[in-house]
Amino acid sequence: MDSITQIVLGAAAGDAVLGKKVGNRAMVWGAIAGTIPDLDVIGNLWMSEIDSLAFHRGISHSFLFSIVGAFVFGWLVHQMYESRFHKPLGMAGWIALSLAVASLFLFVGDFSIVKAIIGITIGAGGSYFTYKRFNRPAFAKPEASLRDWQWLFFWGLITHPILDTFTAYGTQLFAPFSNYRAAISNISVADPVYTLLFVIPLIIAAFYHRSKPIRGKLVWTGIVLSSLYMCFTLYNKYRVTEIMKDTLVAENIEYSRFFTSPSILNNILWSGVAETADGYYHGQYSFLDKEPKFKLSKFPKNHDLLKADVTNDKVLRTLVWFSDGYYTVMKRSDGKLQINDMRYGTFRGEGISEKDFIFNFPVELQSNGNYKLLKTQGGPRDDADMGQMATDLWTRIKGI
């Protein structure tokens, strides 16, 4: 799921494990643990486009990494606090983090006065509050054992890939032993309801001393409420699956398999795609629709447009694996080919332009007969009208 949700989940897991002993430090280290698996995006700096696509949500999101990482990161944090230099190390670490976040606003993307002010505020403010915190009279190292820190990191790490498994993107839980992508697809990669049920009790809990029983009750309230909501989305998944089956039967569509997933930011509007011999039927259904039926449109596969063997071409093999075989091929306006992941469907429903598909991959045939992935496009393009897209989404959620 989105980074904010993973940070909140990690913070809640950290406080549930170690909050009574170390207070808000448990939330902070839990949040860091919940962020670590997504640092695999750093691989984008030196990996090719196709390797980066395959690497994301790979080994860093596996059970093995969670176990090994718990021992390693837990040991490092324990050693830091046991060192007589833990105070300057802590100060240096948090100041460096503040400056790193500030640099994202100052040096990434186009320069603007607003971004510069935000960046300077984060860098200066973070450094100032770090200095004040580490030099207050009550400052002391936390009384936590090596096992405590390792247990915190285990739960902070393991909950990240488990949560990602509920989305449609897929998570390689069993890497490096298997590249199988587990994807239940019952919740969107960004669902504000799930996140708010977690974050509100967690923020309130942070203002209570670790010795107060209400602190633990608040943290567990967020965990229970968000888990109940997750169960609700699983129930919705079951309902949508039955509606998709009924739709395909009613329209006499002979399909081999189908896939359903919720649209972004909600669990009311769902997408569905069914595979047939020569194409895919894709459409949407909202629980607020007057009729319990998907509105389907057919998209041809056009797999014959590819001039290389899918099993022998690394790029094509990876894209087919990534899309779980739900893909179409189309010729772009620039003459190149584009592979579209049909699990995510289109923005407008027609699919008449290469810009319509939410997840797409333009490829180019090289002189050696193999394809090169030019770019991974997921979500709205840079030139998209976000206001209009939000309006269209809300209009469709309300039903037809």
> What value does the mean pLDDT take over residues 95-122?
83
d(CA 283, CA 101): 40
> What value does the mean pLDDT take over residues 203-208?
95
More confident residue, 293 or 106: 293
Q: Bridge partners of 372? A: 364
pTM for this entry: 0.90
337: which residues sit within 8 A by CB, 6+ positions away?
305, 306, 329, 330, 331, 362, 363, 364, 365, 371
> What value does the mean pLDDT take over residues 346-370?
84
More confident residue, 109 or 60: 60
What is the per-residue pLDDT across 332-352, written as a single tens digit (0 to 9) for each?
989 999 999 999 988 765 557
Helix (H) or strand (E) holding 282: strand 279-286
Three-point CA angle 129, 130, 136, nearest 5°: 85
**What is the per-residue pLDDT for 324?**
95
- Does residue 231 contact residue 138 with C-beta atoms inside 8 Å? no
- Does residue 360 contact residue 329 with C-beta atoms inside 8 Å? no
Helices 3-22 & 146-165, crossing angle to 10 degrees? 150
**What is the per-residue pLDDT for 178?**
96
Cα separations in angstroms, 138 against 29, 135, 202: 20, 8, 23
Q: Kindly report the length of the chain.
A: 400
What is the per-residue pLDDT across 231-265, written as a single tens digit (0 to 9) for each?
999 999 999 999 999 999 999 999 999 999 999 99
Long-range contacts from 206-211, C-beta under 8 angstroms, 24+ separation? 206/24, 206/27, 209/23, 210/19, 210/20, 210/21, 210/22, 210/23, 210/24, 211/20
3-class secondary-structure state, position 7: helix
d(CA 159, CA 182): 14
> What value does the mean pLDDT take over residues 92-109?
81
**What is the per-residue pLDDT for 302?**
95
**What is the per-residue pLDDT for 349?**
55
Q: Do you find a cis peptide bond into 380, omega within 30 degrees of 0?
A: no
> What value does the mean pLDDT take over residues 222-228?
97
**What is the per-residue pLDDT for 351?**
59
> Percent of the chain, pLDDT > 70?
98
**What is the per-residue pLDDT for 8?**
94
d(CA 93, CA 192): 31
- Does residue 66 contact residue 174 with C-beta atoms inside 8 Å? no
What is the per-residue pLDDT across 116-173, written as a single tens digit (0 to 9) for each?
888 899 889 988 988 887 888 777 788 899 999 999 999 999 999 999 999 999 899 9
Backbone phi, psi, residue 286, to 5°: -110, 140
Distance spanning both ends of the chain, measured CA to CA:
29
Which pLDDT band holds residue 383 (cuts at 50, 70, 90)? confident
> What value does the mean pLDDT take over residues 103-111?
76
β 337-341/327-331 pair status: antiparallel
